[in-house]
Structure 1
Amino acid sequence: MSPPVYDHDGGWHPGVTLSAPPAAQPGHPLWWKAAVAVAAAAVGAGTAFAVVKLTGGDGSDTARTSATATPHSQAPAPTGQPSRATPTDGGTTGASPSASPSALPEGYHTVDDPSGFSLAVPDGWQRSERSTGVFYTTDGDHRLLQVFVVTEPGMTPYEAVRKSSENLSTQPAYKEIGLEQSGPPAGASAAVGSDAARLVYAYDSEKLGERRQVVEYAFTADDGKEYAVLAAGPATDWPQAQKDADTALAAFATR
């Protein structure tokens, strides 16, 4: 029997607290085990931290539902803070639409996720719950959004994305493009804290047969939880993943 196939779009998450209400929700509660076995033949040497199992195999760890729109009001967006680092190779922070969820870019809509937050996702994407958070995906994970909660005590958003880069560095042809205490991207909702940090990286995915470019934001939200929101896609489509992340955060809200 072949070992499970793992991929590494997701950042470092020693704990995930996102879980759907127990009644009438697809999938199962989410948890994180301290050590995860990674298939070295699929993506190179594994780590105990930065591991995301993407779709593939029998799909038994996913429960897909349609990402349908739900109206959601939103507070005005704050102005993003200057970057403390200068990314290269496409790592410059992209400006997100300066618009409320009622005026999102064409092709996006707001969803109220059962795990207690709202965000904007591209039309037609499918929702799934996995052991590493909530995913919205399309085209067999070639493009995706991922949301999880950082539960490591005392870890700041910047430390979270720095640790992501450190633990992902063993992946095939890994390159850190940008690592910064960025503040919220332009157009982010008021729910995204001013302590937001941003990581941009690229790597070669043997599973998907392409070079990937990923952006990950970590921040303390207005509910006091530290969230990570990650967008990934083919490097040849960059800055599409940046737009997906910024648009998601333009409509981000907690409840």
Structure 2
Amino acid sequence: MNELADYIRDKQSAMVADLKTAGVKVAYADPIAKFEGHGLCDSDEWINGMVAGPEGDGDFHKGDDVTTVCPYVVNTCLSRESYHPKHSGTTGYAAVMNDTLNAIDYKGSNNIPIRSERDIPPVSGMRRISLTGGCLIALIAGLCLLGVLLGSLAYQRANADERAHDQLNASVADARERLRSAARDGDLTDEEIRQALRMSQAGVRDTARAQNVVTIKALVHGTHASALGGGEVSSCRAFKVTLSADDATVSDTAADGC
């Protein structure tokens, strides 16, 4: 999310630079430095985290027609207050705007002396601040996109562990099949064990042999990754490989000590 904020800042700053080169009197107000130490998870947050709605009349409500297009979590829609500035955040934005206006020596319309119509300079000669017109639209679009991405991130993280568990079960099944395949000739070497489990997202922790039975303790991993979140789970498993002349059987149980 920080990378997205930097991307939006860089694009808007570049737009302002191009306008200045074209002779437009325009300035850019960068709020990122002002919010250092006041972001999400900081001790003094100026921005809301995930807020379960509804919090007000303007929020989504269960049963509304639009609920199908709003992020849905904890049996309700996310509030529109999620990932938006708190009162301290809007005060921070105002301070950045004020500093920028002072930097360009903007006095405001109240300080402009009364003049006759012929003495009023053309609009193109007046100082203007960015974040109006097209720049304001770009900022709003960027903030909306940021809110959607953050909501999607919360949803992805809520489901990441479940998908990681599915991957873990698949890895355990894959480990059983690879061990069985390696032991079909009636033998199972340490190198074959390491190779089979390495390709099954598992790591060997201990191996014991007794007659035609090989017991292997291994830590198996399940992961789920995506652009908006991910999860990882692990399980210590005891694989029991029973050898025979022309085949092998493999079973597994949960174990301790990995």
Instruction: Identify whether the pair has TM-score above 0.5, normalized to the shorter chain.
Output: no
Which of the pair is proportionally richer in strand? 1
Q: Shorter-chain TM-score: which interval? A: under 0.3
Q: Which one has a larger percent helix, Structure 1 or Structure 2?
A: 2
Q: Which has the higher contact order (CA 8 A, sep 6+)?
A: 1
- TM-score (normalised: structure 2): 0.21
